[in-house]
Structure 1
Amino acid sequence: MAYYNRVILVGRLARDPEVRMTTTGAAVTSFVLAVDRPVKSVDGQKTADFIRIVAFNRLADFARLYLKKGQLVLVEGELRINKWQSRDGTNVTTPEIWARDIRFMEKKAAVEESIEEFEKPEEFEKPVDEPITDFDDIIGSERDSDGQNPDEPPF
């Protein structure tokens, strides 16, 4: 009999991905995905589940480079249950999703807007006398002939 273990989640990153390397040099990136539950309470309170996602190798590098706190993403993977014994002798069980695919669910402009809005300070600092207005002089060497930055994803 064949077994089937597939999970598809859509949610927002609760924090920036954390990166580490295995002893063999493979990249491992983990992050927490906040997935909203349907509103079922009388008072209309929203609740969310916070699910740990783990990505390996090239997908880990992708997550490290392009994912940021607050982004809406779709994660496809499989459920893994980790079991171990803590120092005080209690048995601990934690679920996590081992990602097979991660996809953006917002357009790039919407992501940039939400990140800017998310990172705005409560109080604005004193304006600089002469702000930089021509960014092409600063980052012009990093752009291709078509005007795209090669370090940015093509979407």
Structure 2
Amino acid sequence: MNHVSLIGRLTKNPELKYTTSGAAVASGTIAVNRDFTNANGERESDFINFVIWRKAAENFVNMTAKGSQVGLEGSWQTRSYENQQGQRVYVSELVVSNFTLVETKEQTEQRKGQSAQQGNGGFNTAPQQNNFNGRQAPQQGGFSTNDMYGKDLPPLNDDDLPF
């Protein structure tokens, strides 16, 4: 099974391009904190390249900016090509099939403005959560009553949960 789920911050604004056939493709990099600290007590990050295709790519670019915290789901892909010097170059990247906005573009800009004034290192103490299509997700319960296809789901009661 090839399924990858990551949460991180965009290292720069995602780049949107179009193929010769007109398909949209967005690419970028997210910084993902590791679960552990190094010998100096600091968290290190991995920088993961990703691509998103078609309408999702256009939506992603319109709804995010450098520093936005996002969740990405998809599959890991390694491809190769021959560069101008005739050398084989290998590229590994996440091919995104679904994304979640942990904060919107506007929230990212607001956080950047606040961090410049407050000096909190660019981190929001209580990020707002948004689902993949840009609609505000409920802040209590952490779920939406609409699934990703827009169908209504029955309400979920805490008594229905097995834990």
Q: TM-score range by the shorter chain?
A: 0.5 to 0.7
TM-aligned CA distance change 1:113 to 1:8, over 3 Å: same
Where do residues 2-151 of structure 1 align in structure 2 (5 Å cutoff)? Answer: 4-106=1-103, 110-117=107-114
Deviations 1:26-54 (A, max 9, x none): 11111111111123322112211111110
SS state at 1:38 partner: strand
SS state at 1:99 partner: strand
TM-aligned CA distance change 1:108 to 1:63, over 3 Å: closer
Deviation at 1:118, TM superposition (A): 6.0
- Which stretch of structure 1 is more off in the superposition, 38-47 or 53-62? 38-47
| Residue 154 (1) aligns with residue 151 (2) | no
TM-aligned CA distance change 1:76 to 1:47, over 3 Å: same
SS state at 1:33 partner: strand
TM-aligned CA distance change 1:119 to 1:20, over 3 Å: farther
- Structure 2 residues without counterparts, runs of 5 or longer: 118-133, 137-163
TM-aligned CA distance change 1:7 to 1:91, over 3 Å: same
Q: Distance in 2 between the 1:99 and 1:32 partners?
A: 12
**Which one has a bigger Cα radius of gyration?**
1
Greater RCO (Cα-Cα under 8 Å, separation 6 or more)? 1
Deviations 1:1-43 (A, max 9, x none): xxx2110000000000101001111111111111111233221
TM-score, normalised by the number of residues in structure 1: 0.68
Q: Distance in 1 between the 2:67 and 2:92 partners?
A: 22
TM-aligned CA distance change 1:90 to 1:45, over 3 Å: farther
The CA RMSD over aligned residues, in Å, is 2.3
Q: What is the number of equivalent residue pairs in this alignment? A: 120
Percent of aligned positions that are identical: 29
